[in-house]
A = this chain, B = another copy of it.
């Protein structure tokens, strides 16, 4: 299967797939005329990347998962590096939840009383995803 079909089946674009390749996430062999040639395994890889991005992991963070699948493992998250990424992200999410909870309290307090003087902490990190 060529890049256009893979893009369609994965619900993405050819540009994104070429970008993944340029980032070393998706190696495709070439046909004699230079076209990229993909198979079901590649589709699997792309779907893995997409589902990880969907939970807020960066492309960079998907590397270990891709490597794990390429190493022949059945699921991308059974390797130590992948699990480490999960743990790190979980810690991030927890920090984010905590911070957002505080922000929520702040907003509620301000909405409830007219009088403020509850000064919040300076922001030390960003919550994202």
Interface set of A (CB-CB < 8 Å, partner B): 50-51, 53-56, 75, 77-78, 83, 86-87, 89-90, 93-94, 96-97, 99-101, 103-104, 106-108, 110-111, 114-116, 119-123, 126-129
Contact = CB atoms under 8 A, between A and B. Distances in A.
A107 B90 contact: yes
Majority SS at the chain A contact face = helix
Contact of A126 (B93, B110, B121, B129): B129
B93 A107 contact: yes
A103 to B, nearest CB: 5
B51 A119 contact: yes
A107 B119 CA distance: 33
Contact of A97 (B83, B101, B110): B101
Given A97-B97, A97-B101, A100-B96, A55 B128 contact: no
A8 to B, nearest CB: 16
A75 B50 CA distance: 46
Contacts of A129: 99-100, 103, 123, 126-127
